Amino acid sequence: MKTGIEQLDSKSEDASTAESARLISRIKNGSREAFASLFSHFKPRLWRFVNLRLHRQLRGRVDPEDVLQECWLRAVTRMDYFPDTVSPAGFIWFRMILTQTLIDLQRRHLGAEKRSAGRELSLQRSWNSDETSSSMAFQLSAQLTSPSGALARAELAQQLEVALQGLDETDREVLAIRHFEELTNAEAAMTLNLSEQAASKRYVRALRRLKGILEAIPGLSGFGTGHPH
C-alpha cells in the first residue's frame, strides 16, 4: 500500500492534488506521523542545502544528519504554522527553519566573530552574498579538482570566489538555489520574492555569466553548467 508521500509523487496530477490536501489536513489536525513523512520526503533536498551552506571550517566537525535532526526538532514545535499547501510553500517552510538552524549552529561553533544574523540573512530569508560566493566556490573547486590536488583546489576556490563576487547579488543567490540546491523555479521565485518568469530569466542569465567566469579561468572552459533538472 502506498504511503501518503508516494501518492503525493504520483504521475497523476489530480491524485497528487487530492493526496496533498489529505496530507495537509492530517498535519493541520496534529498528525505528527504525516508531518514526519513529509519531512522525510524533503530530507534529501534539505541535505543538499546543508552540503552547500555548511561553513568550510565545520566540514568534518559537524555531521549534516545532526543539523537535520535539530531542524526536525524545531519544525515539530512550529507544526501549527505549517502552510496550507505542500508545494512550493511546504518545502520553503522547512528550508526557512533549516536556514536559521544552520546559522545558529555555525554561530555556536565559530563564535562571536561570525556576522550578525541581520547580515547573514540579507536576501529574503537567505544568505549573505559573500557567504554564497564562498560556498559556491568551494563546491565548484571540489568538482573541478581531484583530492590529490588539494593545494590547486584551494587556489582555484579563491579565484572562483573573487570572480563570483563580481556577479549581481541576486544572480549569485539564484545560481546557488537553482544549480546547487536544485530548487524548482517556483521555489526559487518564492524564496527570492520574484515572479516565476523573472526568476527563470535571472537563472538563465546567471548561468550564462557563470559559464563566462569558468571560461576565463585557464583549464576550465570545458566544464558543463547545465541545469540539474
98: CATH: 1.10.1740.10
| pLDDT of res. 194 | 94
Tell me the C-alpha distance between 217 and 219, whole Å: 6
For residues 188 and 154, the answer to whether their CB atoms sit within 8 Å is no
Which domain does 38 fall in, by range?
Answer: 21-114
- How many helices, marked H, and strands, marked E, lie in the chain? 11, 0
Q: Tell me the pTM.
A: 0.76
First-to-last alpha carbon distance for the chain, in angstroms, is 29
- For 94-113, how does the pLDDT look when each residue is reduced to its tens digit (9 = 90+)? 999 999 999 888 888 877 54
| pLDDT of res. 10 | 43
**Set of cell numbers at residue 131:** 557567504
Phi and psi at residue 9, to the nearest 5°: -90, 5
For residues 173 and 188, the answer to whether their CB atoms sit within 8 Å is no
Within a domain: 5: no
For residues 160 and 175, the answer to whether their CB atoms sit within 8 Å is no
| Side chain identity, residue 180 | F
Within a domain: 109: yes
| Domain co-membership, 29 together with 104 | yes
| Domain co-membership, 139 together with 106 | no
Within a domain: 228: no
| Domain co-membership, 33 together with 102 | yes
| pLDDT of res. 34 | 93
Whether the bond into 88 is cis, omega within 30 of 0: yes
Closest by Cα among 78, 188, 32, 28 to 124: 188
| pLDDT of res. 229 | 45
Tell me the C-alpha distance between 122 and 133, whole Å: 14
Tell me the C-alpha distance between 120 and 127, whole Å: 5
| Residues contacting residue 123 through CB under 8 Å, at least 6 positions apart | 129, 169, 170, 173, 192
- If you compute the radius of gyration of the chain from its CA atoms, what whole number of angstroms results? 19
| pLDDT of res. 55 | 82
Tell me the C-alpha distance between 80 and 28, whole Å: 7
For 215-220, which contacts have Cβ atoms below 8 Å and span 24 or more sequence positions?
216/163, 217/156, 217/159, 217/160, 217/163, 220/144
| pLDDT of res. 215 | 82
| pLDDT of res. 121 | 41
Tell me how many domains the chain contains. 2
Tell me the C-alpha distance between 156 and 188, whole Å: 28
| Domain co-membership, 73 together with 155 | no
- Residue 59 pairs with which residues in a beta bridge? 62
| pLDDT of res. 140 | 81
| Domain co-membership, 147 together with 68 | no
Mean pLDDT by groups of 10 residues along the chain of 229 residues: 51 58 89 93 93 84 93 96 88 94 86 48 49 81 67 78 87 90 93 94 92 76 48
- Residue 62 pairs with which residues in a beta bridge? 59
Q: Report the 10 Å Cβ neighbour count for 157.
A: 21
